[in-house]
Structure 1
Amino acid sequence: MDLHLRQAARALILDPDDHVLLVRFVFPSAMWWALPGGGLDVDETPEAGLRRELHEELGLDDFELGPHIWTREQVIPMITGHDGQVDRIHLVRTTRFEPAPTIGWPALRAERVHEIRWWTVDEIARTTDARFAPQRLDRLIADLLVHGPPAEPIDTGL
């Protein structure tokens, strides 16, 4: 049986001090911090979808879209009817900014996003009372900061 996976685009957004911007998803049975972005519309390219998502979720419009650095696939039943999701993750370097969702907080909460904040890699590594997606986000970012973007996208695992 073939899986029906939703295609999505996300961004690893880093400021000049290498802080990363994450969104907090809250579901009835779980909560985790993840990279901003989301599902692609029909016939939308990953790049166009990511620009749309970052505009809606963060109010971020003026940025250079960096390379496709990571890929993440998860198989889990979704309310959209999909069997899971494939995330295509791009690097975005930008000046630090205060997120201002253009779709508004009620719409973000309907999508289960309840908070947006900047983190240091050390904060992510030291945090024991929160989950992150991908699970090894701190190590992936640390590796990227030391070695630069990979020649080919890396599978992040869950």
Structure 2
Amino acid sequence: MSTVNLRRSARAIVFDEDDHVLLCRLAIPDYAGTIVVWVAPGGGVEDGETPLAALRRELHEETGLTLDVDPPQVWRQEVVAAGHAPGHDGVVNDYFLVRTASFTPRGAMTDEELAAEHVTGWRWWSLSEIRDYLGPELFSPRDLATPLAALIADGVPDQPVPLGL
């Protein structure tokens, strides 16, 4: 029996006062070129680190955002797929809800460090912009508009909502 090696990550659904969500643009080299994916800020949980500790560290490094309270977990995404995360059999992403005033992301990482992690930009998106987007770039999860709409309409769920690819 083989063990599945999943990359653990903690990510933040960062909403501003107008329910715009902050997304990070990743340009990931691929055998067919480059795949561009808009993702919630966050990243890998290191050995011995809790998801919330990883979230705090990643948000500070990437965006400069500092959390004063522990945010609630709202979603959990598990994707088991070869090639989805280099060196792993897939990912487990725990998503936490963070509400803040709109700001210009500028974290502790240098531009070179961000580039090494394939980060090429930041953008605040409205739900309608995500829902209506027809361009070649992807969102993670692919149907990001659906869980975002539910989160805006219904607030924090009783249990983390499971997400697909």
Q: TM-score range by the shorter chain?
A: over 0.9
The size of the alignment, in residue pairs, is 157
**What's the counterpart of residue 144 of structure 1?**
151
**1:8 to 2:15 alignment:** no
CA shift in 2, pair 1:63/1:16, >3 Å: farther
2:74 equivalent among 69, 89, 111: 69
Gapped regions of structure 1 (runs ≥ 5): none
CA shift in 2, pair 1:122/1:63, >3 Å: farther
Residue 34 of structure 1 aligns with an amino acid whose one-letter code is V
CA shift in 2, pair 1:138/1:36, >3 Å: same
Q: In the aligned structure 1, how far is the partner of 2:7 from the partner of 2:29?
A: 21
Q: In the aligned structure 2, how far is the partner of 1:43 from the partner of 1:82?
A: 18
The answer to whether the 8 Å contact 1:36/1:57 transfers is yes
TM-score (norm 2): 0.91
The answer to whether the 8 Å contact 1:63/1:92 transfers is no
Q: In the aligned structure 1, how far is the partner of 2:145 from the partner of 2:77?
A: 15
TM-score (norm 1): 0.94
Alignment of 1:58-97 (within 5 A): 58-75=63-80, 76-77=82-83, 78-79=85-86, 81-97=87-103
Q: In the aligned structure 1, how far is the partner of 2:5 from the partner of 2:26?
A: 23
The answer to whether the 8 Å contact 2:56/2:67 transfers is no
Q: In the aligned structure 2, how far is the partner of 1:22 from the partner of 1:64?
A: 21
The answer to whether the 8 Å contact 2:15/2:98 transfers is yes
**What's the counterpart of residue 29 of structure 2?**
28
**What's the counterpart of residue 19 of structure 1?**
20
Q: In the aligned structure 2, how far is the partner of 1:3 from the partner of 1:63?
A: 35
Q: Deviations over 1:53-86 (max 9, x none)?
A: 000000111443321100011223333x221110
Gapped regions of structure 2 (runs ≥ 5): none
Percent identical pairs in the alignment equals 43
Q: In the aligned structure 1, how far is the partner of 2:68 from the partner of 2:27?
A: 28
Give RMSD over aligned pairs.
1.2
Residue 129 of structure 2 aligns with an amino acid whose one-letter code is E
